[in-house]
Structure 1
Amino acid sequence: MFPLRRRALAAVLAAALAACGGDAPDDAPPAVGVQAVDADGRTVALPRPARRVISMVPSATDLLVAAGARDQLVGRTENDDAPEVAHLPSVGGMEPSLERIVSLRPDLVVVFQAAASPQLRQRIEAQGIPTFAMGTRDTAQTFAGLAALGRLAGADAGAAGLASRMRRELAAASVPAARDTPSVFLVVNLDPPMTAGPGTFMVQVARAAGARTAFPDLREDWATVSMEELVRRQPEWLLVTTGAEGTREQRIAALRAEPGWRELRAVREGRVVAVPARLLNRPGPGMGQAAAHIRRTIRPTP
């Protein structure tokens, strides 16, 4: 009887080991795959949730970390500044190393959508590596990309929770549109003056906080404007980012030192909103915090 039990136990163990590895029998259920549609409208299908992800998009890196998928990340770019990924190898910056990407053996690489990097995506896919195009234009693309990345990285619950938190933060900072809504100019560059267009996430965040862009008629997402026109429109506030660019005081000093900029009343009177670059320069987990920062400055609570 005991030998029989041992043989039965051995059979059970053998079956369990076979289920964990080796060739599956013909009638075994197929591996559960995942798929999602990216910003280019392409369906990205994986045989299983990605375990080794390289993110070439800093906002996607931040979203994956915040969604609880940090352990799936195996590579980043030199533009990623989140401390959680500082230990990861960099594959480069504007011109990443394809050799380095391949050496990290990723099962998914996140790239900017085709409008920004079609050749890069083609080169990566030519190596048999799936890619996912992340949209970074507006908040809608951010939330869509977050949900898709959560699915592909096996972090659906974390992505859903993060999306809910971000929406709550944006809603909490929101101010209804009114006639006295102050105008802002989002300073992307000083010489020549460059700003964000009305359809971008930066303007959407500012709008949620109770501001309106001084250039609602721009057709480009990132556009240069003439100094003369900027002076003529006299935005009530300037919106700048701080961090590597300097402190708020340093940014104001730079504006006052630039010809043309000091002709703006907002510069002379110090009406400058300074938001940490990590919150506003990319459409990521910090958008709601950026909106709250803007609202506190331009619409302080009495």
Structure 2
Amino acid sequence: MRVAALCLLLLPVFSVAAEPVKTIISLSPHTTEMAYAAGLGDKLIAASDYSDYPEAAKTLERVANYRGIKMERIVALQPDLILAWKGGNPSREMTRLEQLGFKVFYSNPGSLEDIASTLELLGQFADSPIQAQRSASDFRQRLDVLRRTHQDKQPVSYFYQLSSSPMITVAGSNWPSQVFAVCGGVNIFADSRAAYPQISQEQVIIRQPEVIFGTSHAAADPSVWDNWRQQLPAVERKHLFTVTSDWLNRPTPRTILAAEEICQYLDQVRQSAL
């Protein structure tokens, strides 16, 4: 008989003792990656579509995608623990799984620090928490270096093109704005009311960003940068940069690679202005 469902929200302090588990299902790419980083890879028996890192994740059975989750299959697999994306997986189905007695760990990092905290929380389900603790420590150390290096540098205005058709960006403190902020990036759409607003080229031109970022997915079409003419400082100075999509858009330990990449690009922009 299963114990009552345990929903672990991503909080700075976690006081409930967890126990090692034998089988885990992950319902999002970022929780799959986090599980491996926390030393839980050998316990994963199924995952969502696009769970493609590390390489071993590609062999897992698929039980979720953007349309929803395969409820009957998950129930049949009887996992000891389900890793879910808070706000990303359908709430109705997740509530039903909890009612059936499944233990659910919800992840929705709202800050870079939350990535390290989540690793430590997940480590409590591993046979040993050492790998999770090491991963969290490495992430914090590299993040601290970036912050100390860039805390006093000149702010740089940027536009992040999340997709090109339609043109979508990110606003406010919504992910991954935190990554750009570490390096002194100032989002030209930070004050937008929508979390991920659809915007026009004219709106970007009015705001005159010093640099434009696109992801490797959004920029898969080589012509993506052709939309930007010589009406922007970023275009005139060739400050158009492509960042690795999975590093930036998934809140995982590899996010630090995106931060390091973006910091280098913004330092190039600052140097060119001298």
Instruction: Classify the TM-score, shorter chain.
Output: 0.7 to 0.9
Aligned to 2:23: 52
Aligned sequence identity (%): 25
Match of 2:125 in 1: 152
Q: Residue 231 of structure 1 corresponds to which residue in structure 2?
A: 205
Residues 111/211 of structure 1: CA separation in 2 closer, same or farther (3 Å cut): same
Q: Which shows bigger deviation, 123-132 or 168-177?
A: 168-177
Aligned counterparts, 1:238-277, within 5 A: 238-242=212-216, 244-246=217-219, 250-251=221-222, 253-256=223-226, 258=227, 261-262=228-229, 263-267=231-235, 269-277=237-245
Name the larger-Rg structure.
Answer: 1
Matched AA of 1:173: L
Indicate whether 1:119 and 2:92 are aligned: yes
How much does 1:183 deviate? 1.0
User: Which residue pairs with 2:195 in the alignment?
Assistant: 221
TM-score by length of 1: 0.76
- Match of residue 11 from structure 1: none
Q: Aligned partners of 1:90 and 1:103: how far apart in 2?
A: 13
- Give the Cα separation in 2 of the matches to 1:65 and 1:179: 35
Match of residue 75 from structure 1: 46
Q: Give 1:93 shift.
A: 0.4
Alignment of 1:1-302 (within 5 A): 37-39=8-10, 48-82=19-53, 83-94=55-66, 95-114=68-87, 117-174=90-147, 175-178=149-152, 180-242=154-216, 244-246=217-219, 250-251=221-222, 253-256=223-226, 258=227, 261-262=228-229, 263-267=231-235, 269-300=237-268
Q: What 5-or-longer segments of structure 1 have no aligned partner?
A: 1-34
- Please report how far the alpha carbon of residue 268 of structure 1 lies from its aligned counterpart in structure 2 after TM superposition: 5.1
- Give the root-mean-square deviation of aligned CA atoms: 2.9
1:220-240 alpha-carbon deviations (Å, 9 max, x no partner)? 432233433211111111111
Structure 1: distance between partners of 2:203 and 2:50: 33
Residues 171 and 47 of structure 1, relative CA distance in 2, 3 Å threshold: closer
Structure 1 ranges of 4+ moved more than 6 A? 43-47
| Secondary structure of 1:207's aligned partner | helix
Measured after TM superposition, the shift of residue 214 of structure 1 is 1.7
1:206-231 Cα distance to aligned partner (Å, 9 max, x none)? 12123221223234432233433211
Larger RCO (alpha carbons 8 Å, 6+ apart): 2
Structure 2 unmatched runs, 5+: 1-5
Q: How big is the shift at 1:298?
A: 2.1
**Counterpart amino acid of 1:113?**
K
Q: In 2, Cα distance between the equivalents of 1:44 and 1:224?
A: 41
Q: Is the 8 A contact 1:114 1:121 kept in 2?
A: no
**CA positional deviation for 1:155:** 4.4
